[in-house]
C-alpha cells in the first residue's frame, strides 16, 4: 500500500536542523579522518583551522536558528574551544551528545603548533541572534617546519570566516 503524505506537493528542501547536523558532521570528519591519512605539519595546521572555522560557523547558525546568543570560548592559548549557550552552559554536541568542546592539546600533531589568537584582547566570541560576532580577528598557526602561516580570519561586520596561507 502507498501512504499519502500531508506535506505540500512539490515542496522540497532541507530543514535547518539537517543543515546544522551536516555542518557538524563535516567538522568532526575533518578533525578525525583527514589527519589519519598522514601528512605534513602544514596539513595538520590547515585541518585545525578548518575545524575552528566550522565551529565558528556552527555557533553562528545556532545563534540565528535559536534567536539567542551563542559563545565560542577560546582558552588555554587557543588550544581549547568550547561552545556555550546564552546562560554560559556548555552546549551538547548534536552527534555524540558529549559537551561541545575541542581540545587540540590531545593531538600531538596540532599541539606542536604555536597558536596566536588575536580578537582584540577577548577570549569569548559571542554571536547575537543575527549571527553577528562581537568582534573580528585572527587565529594564526605557526611552526618552524612550515614555510607559511595558516591564518583563520573572522570578519567583524559580516561574521564570515576564511582560512588562508600567509608567508611571514
* DSSP assignment of 67-88: TS-EEEEEEGGGTEEEEE-TTS
Average pLDDT over residues 116-139: 88
pLDDT of 168 strictly over 70: yes
Grid coordinates belonging to 105: 592539546
Q: Could you report the per-residue pLDDT of 50-102, keeping only the tens digit for each?
A: 888 998 899 999 999 999 999 999 887 788 899 999 999 999 988 889 999 88
Assess whether pLDDT exceeds 80 at residue 32. no
Report the Cα 31 to chain-centroid distance in Å.
11
Structural contact between residues 140 and 164, judged by C-beta atoms closer than 8 angstroms: no
Residue 76 region by backbone torsions, left for phi larger than 0, else alpha for psi between -120 and 50, else beta = left
Residue 137 has pLDDT above 70, yes or no: yes
Amino acid at each position: 500500500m502507498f501512504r499519502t503524505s500531508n506535506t505540500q506537493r512539490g515542496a522540497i528542501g532541507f530543514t535547518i536542523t539537517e543543515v546544522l547536523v551536516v555542518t557538524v558532521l563535516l567538522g568532526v570528519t575533518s578533525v578525525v579522518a583527514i589527519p589519519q591519512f598522514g601528512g605534513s605539519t602544514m596539513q595538520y595546521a590547515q585541518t585545525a583551522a578548518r575545524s575552528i572555522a566550522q565551529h565558528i560557523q556552527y555557533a553562528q547558525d545556532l545563534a540565528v536558528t535559536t534567536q539567542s546568543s551563542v559563545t565560542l570560548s577560546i582558552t588555554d592559548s587557543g588550544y581549547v574551544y568550547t561552545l556555550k549557550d546564552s546562560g554560559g552552559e556548555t552546549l551538547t554536541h548534536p552527534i555524540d551528545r558529549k559537551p561541545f568542546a575541542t581540545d587540540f592539546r590531545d593531538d600531538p600533531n596540532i599541539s606542536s603548533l604555536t597558536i596566536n589568537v588575536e580578537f582584540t584582547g577577548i577570549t569569548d566570541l559571542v554571536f547575537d541572534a543575527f549571527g553577528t560576532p562581537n568582534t573580528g580577528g585572527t587565529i594564526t598557526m605557526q611552526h618552524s617546519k612550515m614555510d607559511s602561516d595558516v591564518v583563520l580570519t573572522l570578519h567583524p561586520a559580516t561574521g564570515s570566516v576564511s582560512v588562508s596561507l600567509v608567508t611571514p
